[in-house]
Amino acid sequence: MRRVLALAACLALWAPALAAAQSLDDVVRGLEAAYSKMTDLRADFAQQAFNKSLDQTIPAQGTVYLKRGGKLRWEYTEPTPQQIVSDGRKLWVYTPALNQVNVGDAPAALAGPAGSFLAGLGRLREQFSVRFLNPAVPRDGDGNWVLDLTPKQPLPTLARLILAVEPRAWAVRKAVVYDQFENTVTMRFTRVAVNSGLPDTTFTFVPPAGVATVPLR
């Protein structure tokens, strides 16, 4: 469930727009305008999950699909295959190596600030305190705007969010999610496709024959 909630926090990670921004207000307005037009998204991702107490980093990669209404599908291919799927009401976590799928109600985080961005990130400043990570040098070495977001109502899995935003297409190329214990999930995104018309069937899961169904706790 910890991974599920961390992934819910990562729903706020992309935004296409129209023109390059010159100030923090421009960036915020661009993000807000872009999210108001976004209905679905697909992207490949490379992930680094850092556990501070263990001083351990676990890499992973796969493909993510998102749609308004808390719908999501994370398909991990490395280090071990796993699918995390939600239609906004139910949540399925399928682990082929265990030959089982965990099923339960979708966590509340999917409907709150950590998971509502595809339904409209048109109120960015209402939900976050927003600043440049480094106001003196607001872009990184690749020319991306780097935003430092602090939720006004922090969640255990979302205490801080840093985004690196491409200045022309406004696609988020990198995101770092901090939880309340300063563990981090760092994700880099490629092959981003927005508003491609993902069907709702993408966000339901039918267990393969013989797979055990276990309540999600």
pLDDT in tens, 110-168: 654 445 445 435 567 888 899 999 999 999 999 999 999 998 887 788 899 898 988 77
Q: What is the pTM of this model?
A: 0.81
The arithmetic mean of pLDDT across residues 38-52, rounded, is 92
pLDDT in tens, 167-204: 776 777 898 989 999 999 999 999 988 899 999 999 99
Q: CA-to-CA distance for 196 and 199, rounded, in angstroms?
A: 9
Q: Which of 131, 120, 92, 89 is nearest to 106 (CA)?
A: 89
Residue with token string 């037009």: 37
Q: At 75, give phi and psi (nearest 5°).
A: -110, 105
pLDDT at 3: 61
DSSP state of 168: T
pLDDT at 19: 39
| Domains contained in the chain, CATH given | 2-195 (2.50.20.10)
